[in-house]
Structure 1
Amino acid sequence: MTTPSLPTISEQERLTQALFRTLLDCMSRPGKIGKMAPSNGVLEIGLDPCVVSVALTLLDQEVSFHIVHDNGASSSMLQVYTMARMAPMEQCDFVFLQGTDAVDIRSLKRGILTYPDESATVVCSVKRLSEAATRSPGTTRLTLSGPGIKDECQLCIDGIDQQLMSCWQTANQEYPLGIDWIFVDVEGNVCCIPRSTQFTWEVM
């Protein structure tokens, strides 16, 4: 049995650059589902490989992060690898959580009127993202509108807590204040919903 080789630096840089372009495209076109490649085991820290890829792309020494329900080990390894700072959830720039985490995200940074971009970004891991309704019970369907969307579009999320949805909607009621979101599913699909997007939601 051979041990799989880790990607070279150039390979990891290529993956990171490609994902960064995908995230930019998805953030400018809310509701669009992009495809990403996992980090190929370059950093195994107890998070989904696709979430690790997002972390490696966005975190650096200039930002802070928090992993919800982490025992400390994953955060410590991510800090060493990215040089980003660990911080309490209410003070950090990036929050990593599961869609099933029933946490109150209304206390996250939402920016201020003079600097609305000083808000938190939530990276949320879910079961499945799709553009059409699925038959899975409990799937949440969002109807999105706003900048980057022609009229409106729909996004279906399988594996997100209703309390989390309610807190998110409350936190984003006073645009330009609010929280940006990046959703990642287990198949490597990714979708971004910036704070400028208005939405309604219902459980199918």
Structure 2
Amino acid sequence: MGFDSVDFLAPVGGGGALIGYARVSTKGQNLDRQIAALEAAGCERIFSDKKSGKNTEREELWNALDYLRTNDTLVVPSLDRLGRSIQDLIAIVAGLRERGIGFRSLHEALDTTTPGGRLVFHVFAALAEFIRELIVQGTHEGLAAARARGQRLGRPPAMTEEQIRHARSMLADPEASISSIARMLGVSRTTIYKYVPELGAGARTALTSAPKEPR
């Protein structure tokens, strides 16, 4: 189905039950005012959480979402009671829309069962996408600028150039073992082999047995 055939302002939900959801973020806060507002709005059942919005459990929210049926409407006292972020909020409302369920926020007077409420949420969704793209673009530009300045990106190397030189000089001593050199430099044997590749395939024997140049 193309965009031309979709009526983005078409009301979603409505005609079914009004189901409320309330949440407080700390134990000291009281749910009474939120519940009273939801009851006054005509909610026949109310779910409530006493947990932080950052807590991914939010068990009663998931119970409310599971309880809702097509044409029902989820009602919240305010937008910040539902989502942890604008992206989270939009994702939840989009999920409701796909199921034919409406959404109302009493404080902001938003109602997706009306054309006006649908329009506001599309503006929110577009804004969230715009912010996400700005963040991605800013990250890419920051990385490009760092590369232009010659900065090394990502994790620092396990061995510095000076450590590699020390390792090579010590490996010329037949009495020095790979393990002892690794301990002295504060790295692992694997790291030594990675940064001094000439040690592979028996090259250590050739390195230590080669005649030394006279001083």
More helix by share: 2
- The answer to which structure has the higher strand fraction is 1
Structure index of larger Rg: 2
Q: Give yes or no for TM over 0.5.
A: no
